[in-house]
Structure 1
Amino acid sequence: MSAFTSSRRHRILRGALGVTLATGMGAVLMGCSESPSHGTGPSDGARPSAGHSAANTTAGKQLTGLAQKAADAGSLGVIVRVDTGTGKPVEIARQAAWTKDDHRLAADDRFRVGSNTKTLTATLVLQQVADNKIGLEDTVEKWLPGLVEGGQDITVRMLLNHTSGLGDFLLTPQFLPSLTGQEQRTWTPRELLAVTPRQNPPAEPGTKYSYSNANYEALGLILEKATGQTLADQIEEKITKPLDMNDSNLATGADWKAGKPHVRGYEPDAGRLKAILSGTVDLPQRVGFDGPPRPNDNIDTSAIDPSWSWAAGGMVSTAQDWQRFLTALVSGELLPKEQMKQMRTTVDAPEEGGGYGLGLMKVDTPCGTVWGHTGGLPGYSSEIYTDTGGHRSIAVLTATNFGIKEKTAASANKALVTKATCHMLGK
Structure 2
Amino acid sequence: MKRLVGALVAGVTAMAVVAAPAAAGSAPLQGQLDSVVAASAVGGLAEVRDGHRVWRGASGVAEVGTTRAVPVNGRFRAGSITKTFVATVVLQLVDEGELRLEDPVEKWLPGVVPNGQQITVRHLLNHTSGLYDFKDTLTMPDILANRWRTWTADEVIQRAVANPPTVEPPGQTFDYSNTNYTVLGEIITAVTGESYGDAVERRLIRPLGLHGTEMPGTSPRIRGPHPHGYVPSGHGLLDFTEMNPSVFGAGGELISTTRDLNNFLTALLAGKLLSSRLLAEMKTPAEAGRNYGLGLAWRDTTCGLRLYGNDGDSLTYQSWTFSTTDARHQVTVALTPDFGADSDQYVDTLLDKAVCGSA
Same fold (TM over 0.5): yes
Contact 1:269 1:299 in 2 (8 A): yes
The alpha carbon displacement at 1:348 in A equals: 3.5
Aligned with residue 209 of structure 1, among 174, 177, 198: 174
Name 2:32's counterpart in structure 1.
Answer: 66
SS at match of 2:307: strand
Name 1:314's counterpart in structure 2.
Answer: 253
More divergent stretch after superposition (220-229 vs 90-99): 90-99
Matching residue's letter, 1:326: L
Name 1:325's counterpart in structure 2.
Answer: 264
Give the distance between the partners of 1:307 and 1:401, measured in 2 at CA.
23
Name 2:197's counterpart in structure 1.
Answer: 232
Give the distance between the partners of 1:401 and 1:148, measured in 2 at CA.
37
SS at match of 2:110: coil
Name 2:226's counterpart in structure 1.
Answer: 262
Name 1:104's counterpart in structure 2.
Answer: 69
Q: Deviations over 1:131-176 (max 9, x none)?
A: 1001100000111111111111100000000000111001115x65
Matches within 5 A, 1:34-53: none
SS at match of 2:170: coil
Name 2:16's counterpart in structure 1.
Answer: none
Name 1:361's counterpart in structure 2.
Answer: 297
Contact 1:304 1:378 in 2 (8 A): no
Q: Do residues 220 (structure 1) and 185 (structure 2) align?
A: yes
Matching residue's letter, 2:271: G
Give the distance between the partners of 1:98 and 1:191, measured in 2 at CA.
34
Matched residues, number: 347
Name 2:279's counterpart in structure 1.
Answer: 340
Structure 1 residues 233 and 184 mapped into 2: Cα distance closer, same or farther (>3 Å)?
closer
Matching residue's letter, 2:353: K
Matching residue's letter, 2:149: R
Contact 2:312 2:318 in 1 (8 A): yes
More divergent stretch after superposition (321-330 vs 177-186): 177-186
Give the distance between the partners of 1:394 and 1:329, measured in 2 at CA.
15
Q: Deviations over 1:366-395 (max 9, x none)?
A: 232110001001110011001023343110
The alpha carbon displacement at 1:230 in A equals: 1.9
Structure 1 residues 210 and 199 mapped into 2: Cα distance closer, same or farther (>3 Å)?
farther
Give the distance between the partners of 1:113 and 1:264, measured in 2 at CA.
14
Name 1:48's counterpart in structure 2.
Answer: none
SS at match of 2:267: helix
The alpha carbon displacement at 1:96 in A equals: 4.8
SS at match of 2:248: helix
Give the distance between the partners of 1:264 and 1:102, measured in 2 at CA.
13
More helix by proportion, 1 or 2?
1
Q: Runs of 5+ in structure 1 lacking a partner?
A: 1-11, 21-31, 40-56, 271-292
Q: Runs of 5+ in structure 2 lacking a partner?
A: 9-18
Give the distance between the partners of 1:206 and 1:384, measured in 2 at CA.
27
Aligned with residue 130 of structure 1, among 76, 90, 95: 95
Structure 1 residues 155 and 96 mapped into 2: Cα distance closer, same or farther (>3 Å)?
same
Give the distance between the partners of 1:249 and 1:386, measured in 2 at CA.
21
Q: Do residues 385 (structure 1) and 322 (structure 2) align?
A: yes
SS at match of 1:311: helix
RMSD value, Cα: 2.7
Structure 1 residues 233 and 312 mapped into 2: Cα distance closer, same or farther (>3 Å)?
same
Q: Do residues 419 (structure 1) and 357 (structure 2) align?
A: no
Q: Give the TM-score normalised by structure 2.
A: 0.88
Identical amino acids, percent of aligned pairs: 34
Q: Do residues 302 (structure 1) and 241 (structure 2) align?
A: yes
SS at match of 1:250: coil
Q: Give the TM-score normalised by structure 1.
A: 0.74
Name 2:159's counterpart in structure 1.
Answer: 195
Give the distance between the partners of 1:314 and 1:102, measured in 2 at CA.
29
